[in-house]
Amino acid sequence: MIGKSKTFNTRVNCYECKHFYITWDAQSPRGCRAFGFKSAMLPSIVVKQSSGMPCMKFIKKEHKGRNG
């Protein structure tokens, strides 16, 4: 589709999102604080499968004390 936004073609990397966290739950080791759920899959994949749209709550992590 020609008019598609670049956002719809790119995959959201949860590991770079400030809302992403690793849980202690072996069944659901990945979590999203923004949406309030845990999953076996990356949260961005669950959001895409559920809504048909990429995650709209992605906020890039700020790395304090790093040059880059």
Beta-carbon contacts of 29 under 8 Å, excluding residues fewer than 6 positions away, are 22, 23, 38, 40
The model's pLDDT over 29-44, given as tens digits with 9 standing for 90+, comes to: 999 999 999 999 999 9
Helix (H) or strand (E) holding 50: helix 43-51
What predicted TM-score, i.e. pTM, was given to this entire model? Answer: 0.74
Could you tell me the mean pLDDT of each successive run of 10 residues in the chain, 68 residues long?
Answer: 50 94 96 96 95 94 74
